[in-house]
Amino acid sequence: MAIASNRCLDCTVRDTALCGGVDIDDLATLSAIGRRRALGAGQVLTWAGDANLLCANVVAGILKVTASTANGREQIVGLLFAGDFVGQPFAEESTVTVTALAESDLCIYPRERFERIMGEVPGLEHALLRRTMASLNDARERMLTLGQRSAQERIAGFLLDLVDRTAPFDAIDPISIDVPVSRGDMADLLGLTIETVSRQLTRLKVLGAVALPRAGRTILVRDRAILEALANPG
């Protein structure tokens, strides 16, 4: 028990994850049902349509949450980073597929046991509610993008989100950012095709907004103002 508790106290996402607000004593309860699991890039945690057996906290890495049409087209409906919560408590069946985009570590709980603990550990349900509402806000913003914005606006906005995520608030150009997903995933995230993503990026390069060293996942933002103008025209 003490060992289990210590395991949580040492956790790298102790402060940012769901368990952050939980009392030290209650941590042991959580810890007792949690198991670490590593996922390789491309490995799937849960499939849409399968029985909904688990919840988890992301300890490290990055995962995508996807929904698919009957004929196989895929839409990324969310990205998960260290500290994020994964899963759908109280649902019998999973409605989304969760896939690791890179090596990831998770702290996994059996769903039903996790639900029971939520009723016992004060603050846990509240914390999850806040996270779920934040996810909903995120989803709504993404709906706005998917429904109303042009390819240009989507790419520029995506890059700005990345800058805000990785760089300090008052960072000055140029800022080097590491795109955590492939072009294909960018396309699925933004509701575009790979080719359109690629074309818009080279357009940004021509405009001088970014530089694309060695055609890969590193992007150098040379002029943030240009990106902001393109993301919000008008």
Partner DNA sequence: CGGGATGTTGATGGCAGTCAAGCTCGGTGG
Partner DNA sequence: CCACCGAGCTTGACTGCCATCAACATCCCG
**Which chain residues interact with DNA by CB under 7 A?**
150-152, 182-184, 191-199, 201-202, 212, 214-217
Nearer to its own copies, 38 or 144 (CB): 144
Among 91, 184, 216, 218, binds its own copies (CB under 8 A): 91
| Among 26-34, 73-81, 161-169, 201-209, the segment contacting its own copies (CB under 8 A) | 73-81
Measured CA to CA, the distance from residue 70 to residue 75 in angstroms comes to 12
CB burial string 54-65: b at 16+ within 10 A, e below: bbbbbbebbbbb
Q: Choosing among its own copies, DNA, none, which partner's interface includes residue 150 (Cβ < 5 to 8 Å by kind)?
A: DNA
95 binds its own copies (CB under 8 A): yes
Nearer to DNA, 2 or 206 (CB): 206
Q: Which two tokens stand for residue 25?
A: 């004593």
149 binds its own copies (CB under 8 A): yes
Q: HEC states along 180-197?
A: CCCHHHHHHHHCCCHHHH
Measured CA to CA, the distance from residue 175 to residue 80 in angstroms comes to 23
**Shortest Å, Cβ 193 to DNA:** 4
Q: What is the DSSP letter of 228?
A: H
Binding footprint of its own copies on the chain (CB under 8 A): 65, 67-75, 77-78, 88-91, 95-96, 125-126, 128-130, 132-133, 135-137, 139-144, 146-149, 188, 190-191, 232-234
